[in-house]
A and B are shown apart, each in its own frame.
Chain A
Amino acid sequence: KAGVTQTPRYLIKTRGQQVTLSCSPISGHRSVSWYQQTPGQGLQFLFEYFSETQRNKGNFPGRFSGRQFSNSRSEMNVSTLELGDSALYLCASSIRTSGRTTNGGTGELFFGEGSRLTVL
């Protein structure tokens, strides 16, 4: 069974540019969530998508956005990049059957390899 796939794995951008990251979840997983990992702030939740709808959002500015497609693939976008956006962006998928709960599931997240963004 294929794992969570993220592309691109590495990218370099300059301040003011925008970036789009892609995530394909494990087959059958309908929930995709995004996390930012930096040395200073650690792992922080960005947002979660389920059934093409954003279900949860972390404390990030509006420059960070995302979407989910009907095949559960997800993209996140960061506009007007700042130096502080340099980070490892991790996508995670999980089984979720409906609503805001996992309906008896464990809620376990399976992470992709991440997209490492460097902003110059």
Chain B
Amino acid sequence: ELKVEQNPLFLSMQEGKNYTIYCNYSTTSDRLYWYRQDPGKSLESLFVLLSNGAVKQEGRLMASLDTKARLSTLHITAAVHDLSATYFCAVGKKETSGSRLTFGEGTQLTVNP
């Protein structure tokens, strides 16, 4: 059974600081996704990582994937208040799972002024 673990689960940081969220998964996978969820809202797709060594960047967020270590990271650079949200990583397997994704528990990020 595929398990996905994120850490930390809660992250409070100051504006302007950098931090990294980690996502570990238990079995071989060939696709990893990062989503953002604001309170009471749906999931917004941030990044799609499909190969070992993939790196994607959008604004202050950068995601990477190491399939050998079964690890993805979401790095936040110079955080701003607008980044406060819950971030989920999700893992799927192209050949067997279709649209079935296994989600991590989520990291609740609070950026303080």
Which residues of A are interface residues toward B (Cβ below 8 A)?
Answer: 31, 33, 35, 42-45, 48, 50, 55-56, 58, 90, 92, 94, 96, 100-102, 106-114
Q: CB-nearest residue of chain B relative to A31? A: B99
Number of A-B contacts (CB under 8 A): 73
Complex contact B98–A112 (CB within 8 A): no
Complex contact A102–B94 (CB within 8 A): yes
Complex contact B97–A56 (CB within 8 A): yes
Q: Measured between C-beta atoms, what is the minimum distance from B27 to chain A in Å?
A: 16
Complex contact B88–A43 (CB within 8 A): yes
- Tell me the complex Cα distance, A98–B100, Å: 15
Interface of A is mostly: strand
- Tell me the complex Cα distance, A96–B42, Å: 22
- Report which residue of B33, B94, B100, B105 has the largest number of chain A beta carbons within 10 angstroms of its beta carbon: B100
Q: Measured between C-beta atoms, what is the minimum distance from A48 to chain B in Å?
A: 5
Cβ of B76 within 8 Å of any chain A Cβ, yes or no, is no
Complex contact A100–B95 (CB within 8 A): yes
Complex contact A48–B45 (CB within 8 A): no
Complex contact B95–A107 (CB within 8 A): no
Complex contact B98–A58 (CB within 8 A): no
Complex contact B98–A109 (CB within 8 A): no
Complex contact B42–A108 (CB within 8 A): no
- Tell me the complex Cα distance, A48–B103, Å: 16
Cβ of B102 within 8 Å of any chain A Cβ, yes or no, is yes
Complex contact A109–B33 (CB within 8 A): yes
Which residues of A lie under 8 Å from residue B94 when comparing CB positions? 101-102, 107
Q: CB-nearest residue of chain B relative to A57? A: B100
Which residues of B lie under 8 Å from residue A109 when comparing CB positions? 33, 43, 45, 99, 101
Which residues of A lie under 8 Å from residue B102 when comparing CB positions? 45
